[in-house]
Amino acid sequence: MSWGTDLWDQFENLDKHTQWGIDFLERYAKFVKERLEIEQTYAKQLRNLVKKYCPKRSKEDEPRFTSCISFYTILNELNDYAGQREVVAEEMGHNVYGELMKYSQDLKSERKHHLQEGRKAQQHLDQCWKQMDSSKKKFERECKEAEKCQLLFERLDNDINATKSEVEKAKAQLYLRTHMADESKNEYAAQLQNFNGEQWKHFNAAIPQIFKNLQAMDERRTVKLGETYRTFAEVERRVIPIISKCLEGMVSAGKAVDERKDSTIVVESFKSGFEPPGDFPFEDFSQNIYRTGSDSTIGTPKNEGTKPDPKHSMSKAKNKLWLFGKKPKAPTLEDLSHLPPEQRRKKLQQRVEELNKELQKEMDQRDALNKMKDVYEKNPQMGDPSSLQPKISETMCNMERLRSEIHKNESWLSEVEGKQSSRSDRRSSADVNHHAPHGRESPEGSYTDDPSQEHRSPPQPDPHEFDDEFDDDDPLPAIGHCKALYAFDGQNEGTLVMREDEVLYVIEEDKGDGWTRARKQSGEEGYVPSSYVDITMEKSSKGS
């Protein structure tokens, strides 16, 4: 089927049809644009959702639980999924919408050209018809005028009253009009022949070719639409494998959740390293009833093992209840002695590993600088070797500093590990002897131990600080004295408030839990962090 032959007289309808085709193409392009905008909005919302639930975290806040790690894995996969939706939108915009809009402009230009050619051909045929019609009308007029002259001449020729001159004049006029009619006839015949020729060329050559071009253009438009339909689907199909991998990653993240591993992490995160409290000792309050007069003499030291003090026993009983109490506020110390033993050990191990990594970086940098210096020495034109010396010196200083830090932290780590093993030994001994529990938890469940105390010189004791006379209400004798290195607010029950540089009596040693029982000169008793005081023990108590 050809538009040129079958639709030779449908110029106006073909004009409307080709315009409808371009409008339809642009309508489909608008549909694709709205679709890719939906994809872009969807991808943006997904990314915002991921950003909302996966904020930037510091190294310490990195998730360790498998459930958290899996959730963040799902968020990462969802972020990749959003990226694929962006790819879909981008390719639709470039390969479909952009192509359609560009092709639409080309179609408009081509259609305009073909229609202009068709209108030109029609105008030329109309012009030929007008010329032929004009010559035809002229021929008709001349023939009528010649007929009038013919009738006038015949009337005068048959009239006996007409003069000869009138007859001759009418005859000349007839001859003139007849000649003009013949010329008009010849002109009309020529114009008619020309019009017929132009009309044949118009309907058999020009218009069929123009309509054929319009048909080819419209068919290309249809083919282009089919191609973009396929491209529209192929864009989606190409990302399906990657989207499937994202979904598989989410499924794998769900399978990776391990409840036992998470429980183990909870233990590792919060394990203090302390031993559970032992049994309460029996408190025999009846012994005070059978005291002799000499037993109540002021200044006679009481033996804690044989005559327990009710107040002291009550104080110890309270200590057991402080296991879940609020931790006392203490400054963060460099040796991490404010942490429980197990947590301190892990933090120190982590710090040592980080310092070793930094040291390795500095060593690599030193080696690189030395190599560069050797190259400069062998090839002076490449650079001045002395210019590298400040950087090398700085690197060496950093290495020494890091080695010192590593040594210091390894010493603390060894101390923690040694104390943990010694606490375990003491617990075994306490279980056998069934004395007051040495594994007693600190009043607030915290642990303090300052190794730097070993290097401090104990202060000189004040002779006025020691008094061998004790009331019955303070049965525990002083076994030493201590000086406060820091102020301690003692907010929790059982703790003792102390000022910096204040001197206190020591009435009970640190049992390995980081707390020392002390008494003020006013007689007030309580526990203070061992790392907050510098302790000096009496020789008799040390030897006992």
Rounded-to-integer distance, Cα 172 and Cα 151, Å: 13
- What phi and psi values does residue 537 have, to the nearest 5 degrees? -90, 150
- Between CA 327 and CA 424, with CA 447 as vertex, the angle to 5 degrees is 135
Helix, strand, coil percent content, the chain, rounded in steps of 5: 70, 5, 25
**Cβ distance 416 to 343 under 8 Å?**
no
- Helix (H) / strand (E) element for 525: namely strand 525-529
**Cβ distance 7 to 14 under 8 Å?**
yes
Rounded-to-integer distance, Cα 188 and Cα 132, Å: 6
DSSP, collapsed to helix, strand or coil, labels residue 479 as coil
> What does the block give as tokens for 393?
């010196």
Q: According to the model, what pLDDT value does residue 290 have?
A: 55
Residues 6+ apart with CB under 8 A from 54: 72, 75, 76
**Cβ distance 164 to 105 under 8 Å?**
no
Exposed / middle / buried, residue 480 (Cβ in 10 Å: 0-12, 13-18, 19+): buried
Residues 6+ apart with CB under 8 A from 156: 162, 166, 167, 170
Closest CA to 448 of 364, 353, 529, 354: 529
Rounded-to-integer distance, Cα 359 and Cα 366, Å: 10
The bridge status of strand 480-484 relative to strand 533-537 is antiparallel
DSSP string spanning 344-395?
A: HHHHHHHHHHHHHHHHHHHHHHHHHHHHHHHHHHH-GGG--GGGGHHHHHHH
Q: According to the model, what pLDDT value does residue 59 have?
A: 63
| Stated length of the chain | 544
Exposed / middle / buried, residue 397 (Cβ in 10 Å: 0-12, 13-18, 19+): exposed
What is the residue-level pLDDT of the chain in tens, covering all 544 positions? 788 888 888 889 999 999 999 999 999 999 999 999 999 999 999 999 999 998 777 766 777 889 999 999 999 999 999 999 999 999 999 999 999 999 999 999 999 999 999 999 999 999 999 999 999 999 999 999 999 998 988 888 888 887 888 888 888 988 998 999 999 999 999 999 999 999 998 888 888 999 899 999 999 999 999 999 999 999 999 999 999 999 999 999 999 999 999 999 888 888 877 778 778 787 777 776 755 444 444 444 444 444 444 444 444 433 433 434 444 454 667 777 777 777 788 888 888 999 999 999 999 988 988 888 888 888 888 888 888 888 888 998 898 889 988 988 888 888 877 766 665 555 555 444 444 333 333 334 444 444 443 333 333 334 444 344 434 444 578 888 899 998 888 877 788 899 888 999 999 888 877 889 999 888 888 888 888 899 888 765 544 4
Q: According to the model, what pLDDT value does residue 474 have?
A: 45
Strand order in the sheet with 480-484: 525-529, 515-519, 503-508, 480-484, 533-537
> What does the block give as tokens for 241?
């494998």
Q: According to the model, what pLDDT value does residue 311 have?
A: 40
CA 311 to chain centre: 60
The bridge status of strand 533-537 relative to strand 525-529 is unpaired
DSSP string spanning 25-53?
A: HHHHHHHHHHHHHHHHHHHHHHHHHHHHH
Q: According to the model, what pLDDT value does residue 281 have?
A: 81
- Indicate left, alpha or beta for 336 from its phi (over 0: left) and psi (-120 to 50: alpha): left
**Cβ distance 336 to 347 under 8 Å?**
yes
Q: What is the DSSP letter of 488?
A: B
Residue 198: CB atoms within 10 Å: 19
Q: According to the model, what pLDDT value does residue 331 have?
A: 61
Rounded-to-integer distance, Cα 358 and Cα 470, Å: 57
In Å, what is the CA distance from 468 to each residue of 200, 248, 257, 349, 474?
143, 78, 65, 47, 12
